[in-house]
Structure formats: structure tokens, C-alpha cells
Amino acid sequence: MKIFHPLLCYYPSQAGGPANTLYWLNTALDKAQFETKVISSNFGLENKASLEAIGQNISTAHHKVQFLDSGGTAFVKKGLTAVKQSDIIQFSSLFFPPTLPLLVKAVIQKKKVIISPRGELYSAALSIKSKKKKIWLQLIKVFQSKIHFHATNEFEKGIIQKYFPKAAGVALIPNYIKMPKKQPLDIVENQLLFIGRINPIKNIDVLIKAIDKAQKTLGREVKLVIAGSARLPYEIAYENKLKHLVKDLELQKSVTFLGHVQGEDKDKLIARSYALVLPSESENFGNVVLEALAQGTPVIASKNTPWESLEKTNSGFWVLPSVDELSKTIVGFLDMSDAEYKEIRKNAYRLCSEKFDIGSNSNVWADFYKEIN
């Protein structure tokens, strides 16, 4: 079975969750049953001068990867050829420009189509360039009966069914992770960690204000490390706003902007942090949560993310993304006993390894591919 992925970004890019999620999936699928073809733009790649070499380095006999300079005409042209040669076309964005022309071609050629909106239908995401997105959705809706949608949580599944009531189906499959090497841990630093895009939807300003309030409550310093990059103009403006906020609250000694981190450096940073905080306004999954749990690092996630299981398994906290609630949770978390904290770290690692390891769950996707094909 041949599966084609047209993408905005793909591993080794770290500019979006699907970059890693789909790479882990494609490399875990049974090579005797599946061949995957990936065409991605160069978004998020540091060395854009050697795109061909990067693709060749990742590619195998059953997993072909090609990077292009953009998602423009050349992308669509090569994508149309890939559609013709494939059985299943799996999109990871509704609004990536090549999606619509490739979708039309796939439907005409009677290919099986999967679309993973990955949070794009959440109200906070739709509010950005809303008029253009409304038109785009109406165009895609024409083909909904030919589309199998993929949701990562129940809430997202409901939203998809609302916008595309006549879809061929909506599969509920969480993201999975290739379990990284667990970093040796000599000491856990007294720091909270945010990792992700510096984007307004991440609610980082709320987190900074919560840190300020927690410090005043505890009467001691609470460190926050913000790791991530701002790529788009409005993200850069938001990052500047955050830095001004830190200055206004006199938190320069408490809050550090680390910039982009990846690979083993990222794993080490996560492992030695007291907890990861994901205060997002909306999040369809949050792959960084898996990366934290895989190192045994507890997580504080907002109730706008699908991570209620953190509390059910005593692996972290699931709270309202407000200054008061975040601050209250941070204070309680930092004041827990050593025994309680060691237990929550064990539970965090157990949750990830048992429920979200792609090595033992690739069959979920394999079964879905076979079912729709």
C-alpha cells in the first residue's frame, strides 16, 4: 500500500508537531506492507541550501522524502504526480495551499483521502485570517463525502463532525512518539519549562503573570525557561510583547528566553526541569507533552488541551489557563514533598511508555489504512 504525505514541514524540521509525529509513524510502519512518500516545503529547516541531501539522508527504500523550496507551483506539480502513484493521500492541514488542488486530483482519481486538521478548526485558530479560511472550508466541504478525517481527541472529533457532517468518517487516533533515550538524571533544577512556538495561542503571557503571582505567594524566586522561536511577523511581535512584560514585572532574573532547542539538548533540558507547562488557549494534542512524559517530567496542561489523563494517572495537572489557576497549581506543585514528586515522575514516564509509544501502537494506523482502502 502506497501512502503520500504532502506537508508544510517534516523532520528534521521542528516547526510543527506533524514534522515528528509523521516521521515516527512512517519509520515504524511494517515495510513489507507500506511504502510512504513525503513531499515537504523547507519550512523550519535551518540549512535550506542542501534540501536534496537532507531528503536523501532520511529516505529509505520504503520511505521516500523530498524537500522543496516552497509550497508553490513546483510543489503542486510534483504532488500531482505523487497522487497518481499512491493509494492513500494523507493531508496534515486543511489550509496548506497545495491541499486543495491535490485533494481535487485525488478525488478525481478515486484515491482514498485522509485529512488531519490538527487543531485548525478550533475557534482560536480559525480567528486568524478568518475570512479566507471560511471560503477555503466551503470549498473543501464540497468533497467531504470522499474524505476520512483524523482527530486526536474527542473534542476535535466533535468539531470536525460539526463542520463536515457528511464526511466519510472521523477516526480518533492520538499522536504517538518514538520513545527517546531517557536522560540520566543527577539533579532536577528548580525551573518550570515552556517549549513551543512563541505564538499568542500558547498563552505564554498568562504563564508569565502566573509566575509573578506564584513568586509573591511563595516569597521566593520561581524560574521559568521559555524555549522556542517566533517565525512569523505576528509571532515576533508577540515575543517582543512578552519580553516587555517580563521587564515590566521585573522578572528578568526569573524568566529566561532560551530560543530554539532540539535533539539531545532538548531532551536534557526537559529531563532536568521540574515540570513542563502548556498553558495554551487551544491545542488539539501537544506533542511536547509526550516529549516531557517520555523523560519522566510532569506536565501542567491547560483544560484547552486533551490532557485530562495527567490527573487521572497522577502524572501532572490539568487546569484552567488563567493566571489564578496556574499560579495556584504552580505553588502547590513546588511545595509537594520529595516522595510525592518522585512518584509523579514515575507515573509520567509510565503513561507515555504504555499509551503513546509508536513502537507498540503503529498497528493502530496500519489497521486504519487497511480499513479505508
233-248 and 204-218 are packed helices; what angle lies between their axes, rounded to 10 degrees?
20
Contact at 8 Å (CB) between 88 and 111? yes
Buried b (16+ CB within 10 A) or exposed e, 26-58: bbbbeeeebbbbbbbbbbbbeeeeebeebbeeb
Strand order in the sheet with 189-195: 255-259, 223-227, 189-195, 273-278, 299-302, 316-319
Place of cell 512512517: 26
pLDDT of 228 reads 92
Between β-strands 112-115 and 299-302, what pairing exists: parallel, antiparallel or unpaired? unpaired
Fold that domain 189-355 belongs to in CATH:
Rossmann fold (3.40.50)
Cα separation, 304 vs 296, in Å, equals 22
Q: How confident is the model at residue 82 (pLDDT cuts 50, 70, 90)?
A: very high
pLDDT of 231 reads 85
Which residues are CB-neighbours of 15 under 8 A, at least 6 positions away? 8, 9, 43, 44, 197, 231
Residue 274 has pLDDT above 90, yes or no: yes
Helices (H), 261-316: 263-272, 287-293, 309-312
Residue 188 has pLDDT above 90, yes or no: no
How many CB atoms within 10 Å of residue 189? 13
Contact at 8 Å (CB) between 196 and 202? yes
Fold that domain 2-177+358-372 belongs to in CATH:
Rossmann fold (3.40.50)
Residue 178 has pLDDT above 90, yes or no: yes
Place of cell 503573570: 209
Give start-end residues of each CATH 3.40.50.2000 domain in the chain. Answer: 2-177+358-372, 189-355
Q: How confident is the model at residue 320 (pLDDT cuts 50, 70, 90)?
A: very high
Q: pLDDT tens, 206-262?
A: 999 999 999 999 999 999 999 999 988 999 999 999 999 999 999 999 999 999 898
Q: Which of residues 70 and 330 earns the better pLDDT score? A: 330
> Across residues 333-357, what is the average pLDDT?
95
Q: How confident is the model at residue 185 (pLDDT cuts 50, 70, 90)?
A: confident
pLDDT of 200 reads 93
Residue 186 has pLDDT above 90, yes or no: no
Between β-strands 299-302 and 223-227, what pairing exists: parallel, antiparallel or unpaired? unpaired
What's the longest Cα–Cα distance across the chain?
Answer: 66
pLDDT of 17 reads 80
Cα separation, 195 vs 261, in Å, equals 9
Contact at 8 Å (CB) between 358 and 25? yes
Q: How confident is the model at residue 129 (pLDDT cuts 50, 70, 90)?
A: confident
> Across residues 22-30, what is the average pLDDT?
95
Percentage of residues of the chain with pLDDT beyond 90: 87
Q: pLDDT tens, 27-78?
A: 999 999 999 999 999 998 877 678 999 999 999 999 999 999 888 899 999 9
Which grid cell sits at 147? 474524505
> Across residues 180-191, what is the average pLDDT?
84
Note if the pTM is more than 0.75.
yes
Percentage of residues of the chain with pLDDT beyond 70: 99
pLDDT of 161 reads 97
